[in-house]
Amino acid sequence: MKKRLVIILLLCAALMTSALCGIVAAADPPPAPTTGGIYGLPKPEDLTNISITVQTAGGTAISSEQKTVNGDTVDFYANAEKMTVELSNVQSGSYYLVVAQTKKGVPTEDTGIVYIDQQTTAGSTVTFTIYPSKLSSGECYVYFTSNAESGSIKSGAFDANNPAITFSYYAPFPRGDVNGDQKITTADAIRVLEHIAQVKNLNSDEETRADVNKDGRFTTADAIYVLEHIAQIRNLAVED
């Protein structure tokens, strides 16, 4: 009972402080900020007869930048919508098949196929366009196979345990989306206050999004930041 009273008092305090800052409770919350992208692509020098160009939806090539994603520093392609993958040294007149899926293994319904295409080559190269942005966060495995008897990809070369390319797509939760529902609402402010009142502690994922003002602590100030975002007084940036 005491804990419930504490959380109610804390929430009221946060709401009153926010009101003094000019918050209009009736305001519609802005959409949660999001930035997606791909990372984990192999280095060009690690690929044989395969070249990859990461692009926007309009086809503009994207260069990678160093980002911290899931706690690791990686080459990150922000806002990537598609990848053009070219196979060289292929056999003209043969068909080449590409499969991208979310689990390793022979393509089945259970492996989460997200892309599949087949092309017949007219020369020594063949190009496929893969759309990683259609994925939710997680790994993607790309396989190639063909009916060719010569060239870089030969008949029977499909190896379910060794994909040609592996990468990950990242769709981050925005800073302030404490409960991870892809929205920033009063429920997120309440989660912070519940933690402060020791009613319900934040889990590790929630902690990464709950320190809204990035001061290394979880306080009523974080709840107020969330409320200010809802009232369109503050626009919370994505924490990559």
- pLDDT, mean of residues 207-225: 86
Q: How far is CA 117 from the centre of its chain?
A: 24
- Provide the CB-side half-sphere exposure for 32 (13 A, CA): 24
Domain-located, residue 240: no
- Tell me which residue range forms the domain holding 17: 2-32+175-230
Please indicate, yes or no, whether residues 87 and 190 belong to a single structural domain of this protein.
Answer: no
For residue 140, being part of any structural domain is answered with yes
Answer yes or no: do 114 and 79 share one domain. yes
Q: Which two tokens stand for residue 65?
A: 């930048």
Please state the pTM of the whole predicted model: 0.62
C-alpha span between 216 and 210 (Å, rounded): 10
pLDDT tens string 153-175: 989 888 889 999 999 887 666 67
In the chain, how many domains are there?
2
In a domain, 238, yes or no: no
> Do 170 and 69 contact (CB within 8 A), yes or no?
yes
Q: How many CB atoms lie within 10 A of CB 80?
A: 24
Q: Are residues 182 and 165 in the same domain?
A: no
Per residue in 30-69, pLDDT (tens digit) is 444 456 788 999 998 999 999 999 998 888 999 999 887 7
Q: 20 in a domain, yes or no?
A: yes
> Both 105 and 180 in a single domain?
no
236 part of a folded domain: no
Residue 165's CB is within 10 A of a number of other CB atoms, namely 20
| Cβ atoms of 62 and 56 closer than 8 Å | yes
Residues 44, 22 within the same domain: no
